[in-house]
Amino acid sequence: MFYREAGQFRTSYAQDSQILPLRQDRVGMAVLLMAAALVPFVANAYWLSAILIPWLILSLVALGQNILMGYAGQLSLGSAGFMAVGAFACYNFILRVPGIPFIVAVILSGICAALVGIAFGLPSLRIRGLYLAVATLASQFFIVWSLDKFAWFKNYDPAGVITAQKIMILGHDFASPREKYWVVLVIVLVLTLLAKNMARGSVGRGWMAVRDMDVAAEVTGLSLLRTKLQAFAISSFYCGVGGALFAFAYLQTVEPSAFTIELSFRILFMVIIGGLGTIMGSFLGAGFILLMPIFLNVFFHTVFGKSVDASIASALEQIIFGVMIITFLIYEPLGLARLWQLTKERLRLWPFRH
């Protein structure tokens, strides 16, 4: 009975196509945003650095992956490679362009990743499905190898592991976990809003048209070339920005070995479990994958009274993720996001059944 729409009229098309047409949703979102902004005052440094920051960053990357796979239907296993491009580009921009603002460096890094994305996305014009997945594998392996072997990217540093520079915005060094969190939060929120706008507008419709029936999409006048490459470019931009943040706000190092094929698979799982073709799904999926190890630990503590062995924990994680993917694909291909939507619809009718 809280979630009633009665009395809320939408009197223009613009109103009808708002992101949050229901007042209750708007209130809920406002509360959520306030909570997100204020959480550093209640959470300890561990929660910020090890959970919340990576969650936001990986949600952003998952968002990029979702744009490419969920909305545009292009199977991709190379997200970590584009993250690596972003991370190394950011490092190099800050290194070689003295005084460059951090935000500008991040945006430029995203653009670099986008350009690489377009190049490796060209095969998508002739191939699809598994073939495209293998092409993206090629991009993953080749990019990481190049960044590792061509010493220029690492500024000829013999150490092999580079420390990320400081995050300087308007002269202030955002060094503490709290400050890093706010930087990441703002960037992720802004980019999520942009993605949401694109997904709901003509851009998103173009992507989904190409995903669902590309011959019919062509008949409506869409250029498959432009649409697919645009999806690759925007998706890689998001992955690149995510990669830069991953290196600068989370790991504090810039190294190719952080961006492995295993990470690409994790991102894939986030998107599938979270919900393909949804914005919220990226956040839900990332949260799920990140929190699972913690959940397992807590579970083992409460049920068995002792810590779980690391290798057993990781094996269980693998099994759970794999089983969840298969289960979701069979029963609810739209993932956690759809489950959330169904819950909301139930709430709208509550306490009635239908």
Partner 1 sequence: MNISTVLQSSPLQSNVLQSSQRAFPIGAPILELESISLRFGGVKALTDISFNVLEHEVRAIIGPNGAGKSSMLNVINGVYVPQEGTISLRGERLAGMTPTAAANLGISRTFQNIALFKGMSVLANIMAGRALRAHATFLEVALQLPRARREETESREAAEEIIEFLEIEHIRKTPVSRLPYGLQKRVELGRALAAEPKILLLDEPMAGMNIEEKQDMCRFILDVNDHYGTTMVLIEHDMGVVMDISDRVVVLDYGKKIGDGTPDEVRANQDVIDAYLGVAH
Partner 2 sequence: MFDISFFIEVLVGGLLSGIMYSLVALGFVLIYKASSVFNFAQGSMVFFAVLTFVGVMEKGLPFWAALPVAVGVMVLVGMATERFVLRPLVSQSEDTLLMATIGLSFVIEGVAQLVWGVDVRNLDLGIRDEPIGWVLDSTGMLISQLDITAGIVASVMVASLALLFSRTKVGRGLRAVADDHTAALSIGIPLKQIWMLVWATAGVVALVAGMLWGARSGVQFALVWVALKALPVLIIGGFTSVPGVIVAGLLVGASEKIVEVYIGPKFGGGVEVWFPYVLAVLFLLVRPEGLFGERIIRRV
Task: Give me the residues that bind partner 1 (CB under 8 A), please.
Answer: 13-14, 16-17, 194-195, 197-198, 201-203, 205-206, 208-209, 211-213, 215-223, 230, 234, 277
Distance CA 28, CA 254 (A): 37
Helix (H/G/I), strand (E/B), else coil: 168: strand
> For 253-280, b where at least 16 C-beta lie within 10 A, e where not — what string?
ebbbebbbeebbebbbbbbbbbbbbbbb
Classify residue 175 as exposed, middle or buried by CB count within 10 Å of its CB (0-12, 13-18, 19+): exposed
Q: With CB cut-offs between 5 and 8 Å by kind, which of partner 1, partner 2, none does residue 206 bind?
A: partner 1
**101 lies in the binding site for partner 2 (CB under 8 A):** no
Which stretch, 44-52, 55-63, 327-335, 341-349, contacts partner 2 (CB under 8 A)? 327-335
| 123 interacts with, out of partner 1, partner 2, none, CB within 5 to 8 A per kind | partner 2
Q: Say whether residue 186 binds partner 2 (CB under 8 A).
A: no
User: What residue 133 binds from partner 2, partner 1, none (CB within 5 to 8 A, per partner kind)?
Assistant: partner 2
Largest CA-CA distance found in the chain, in angstroms, rounded: 67
- For residues 281 and 328, what is the distance between their CA atoms, to the nearest angstrom? 13
179: contact with partner 2 by CB under 8 A: no
* Residue 312, contacted partner among partner 1, partner 2, none, CB below 5-8 A by kind: partner 2
The letter for the amino acid at 261 is I
C-beta neighbour count of 55 within 10 angstroms: 18
Closest to partner 1 by CB, 199 or 258: 199
Q: Residue 316 binds which one of partner 1, partner 2, none, with CB within 5 to 8 A depending on kind?
A: partner 2
User: Which amino acid is residue 120, in one-letter code?
Assistant: F
Retrieve residue 243's tokens: 């990669």
Structure tokens at 253: 């190092």
Binding site for partner 2 (CB under 8 A): 73, 75, 123, 126-127, 129-131, 133-135, 137-138, 141-142, 145, 148-150, 215, 261, 265, 268-269, 272, 311-312, 314-326, 329-330, 333
